[in-house]
Structure 1
């Protein structure tokens, strides 16, 4: 039985794994290999990386760093979770089971990204999903918001702080309230209701979109805002963890422990601003308190 099983090998999970490894605990990270950090090609707002750093790079070096401290990694998606006497059992999609005395959920959130393969190399470089992370990247640049209904309208209005050259393409033609339409008009935002037929990009460089009516819209930058992002809190629900109304996990702000004893949560899964640096802090904070509870049991 492991001292701690971490579900998710993204930023929060890796930071916790590194710290728990430095405490000499027996730790396993069960990682599905997907998530935001697996597809973001560049983060621009992280201390120490003025030219940006990719999520895949952070994941790779983070794993190597954790393995130096004896942390084990298994690739696979966790699908079932249950309480045991003195611990927990997690079952992967492949049918393998893992047991641990402590559990850290770092399963994250996944954005709803339209199925245009040309977008993937651009994410975090010229096309973005988070205005707090990357609104600055569109400063004074022509920008196409690829979105749906209210979510896309809100994104376009938010980005108007950075640029006055915005086009919002309501790809799914979902309803937008009149007050939003009026606000966009006031800000000079061009509103288009045609669906996108094709995304134009040269590798990481976004160039625009082709609409279903054949019209080509060119742009220097893009933003994605479809709403309906998946909060991966299914395991938390199985364990009886309290969730916010938006399905994010509720935790003690000091310890990051959930309402279920010996179950912690960290990163985007938790109800707060979804930022890479906050995920790092969450992972560190959770790992410290996980260690404290192990010490309190007289393990070391």
Structure 2
């Protein structure tokens, strides 16, 4: 790449990062997207609940976005992983794993999150295919099916309440001793939702399509699909290195304008939102790009 200096560097080139880049490119802002090419939904066969793209594959949506961004010559792409960030007197310096160094006045973190898979054989092979996280993204397609919910406590209760509108064939798999208060248990019992506390050994599947959950005690139960609530970590730790605060759930703290707790640093997408969807990522990226352009305009006008 001929140039190393930019007005904005975006770390992460999936939906949020691409959306931010479009707003910036259309505002003639010299922008660099650094992307490692490992989106968290890469196994997901179809994306839903995104107007105009309902049912498209995640890759198709991203490729359309990248093609459209080539119309804006101020937007540049770099394939690689950003590994370090430093504050400068008038901006930031970002170093990649290849040793390349870039500078910018503003930063956008849009690198998403990494799901931390449980120690259950076959689980990761089904993740995003027949074991899913979101009823809004996937629930319509697996409605009325024999469904497992692999979760415990408040998260399990909340997820069950949402899924109950999509199917009445629900079994809660807490993968250990259940953690519900009495009012939650009474409501689950009223809805005739079975709770199984046995530890899970394996998710049996064919090419990612769930067929059976096998428990460590040797028992098993057939299912068509499952929802699961699992932990995650930030894909990029650079925001934390630069002082950005995280929420108690592990997301980057942002305000309504996608600004982090550090001056001139923004974040958008799954790394900073509990609403984990393509549509939400695109929205957050568009807001971040517009707000950054506004800041640059006010600083330079």
Q: TM-score range by the shorter chain?
A: 0.7 to 0.9
Aligned to 2:284: 282
Corresponding residue number in structure 1 for 2:59: 56
Contact 1:153-1:168 within 8 A present in 2 as well: no
Deviates most, 146-155 or 33-42: 146-155
Matches of 1:112 and 1:185, distance apart in 2: 31
The match for 2:163 is 159
Q: CA–CA distance in 1 between the matches of 2:62 and 2:123?
A: 21
Q: CA deviation at 1:7?
A: 0.8
Q: May I ask how many residue pairs the two structures share in their alignment?
A: 295
Counterpart for residue 265 of structure 1 = 267
3-state SS, counterpart of residue 141 of structure 2: helix
Does residue 111 of structure 1 match 2:115? yes
Conserved? CA contact 2:131–2:225, under 8 Å? yes
Which has the larger displacement, 103-112 or 179-188? Answer: 179-188
- Whether the 8 Å CA contact 2:123–2:202 is kept in 1: the answer is no
CA distance in 1, matches of 2:277, 2:121: 25
Q: Select 2:248's aligned residue among 245, 250, 266.
A: 245
Cα deviation for residue 75 of structure 1 reads 3.0
Q: How does the TM-score come out when normalised to structure 2?
A: 0.84
State whether residues 3 and 27 of structure 1, in contact with CA within 8 Å, keep that contact through their aligned partners in structure 2. yes
Distance in 1 of aligned mates of 2:277 and 2:240: 23
**Secondary structure of the corresponding residue to residue 137 of structure 1:** coil
Per the TM alignment, residue 178 of structure 1 is displaced from its structure 2 partner at its CA by 4.6
Q: Which has the higher contact order (CA 8 A, sep 6+)?
A: 2
Runs of 4+ in 1 over 6 A off after TM superposition: none
Structure 1 residues 116-157: Cα deviation after superposition (integer angstroms, max 9, x where no partner) = 675556444433101333333333221012335553454334
> SS of 1:136's equivalent?
coil
Q: Which has the higher helix share?
A: 1
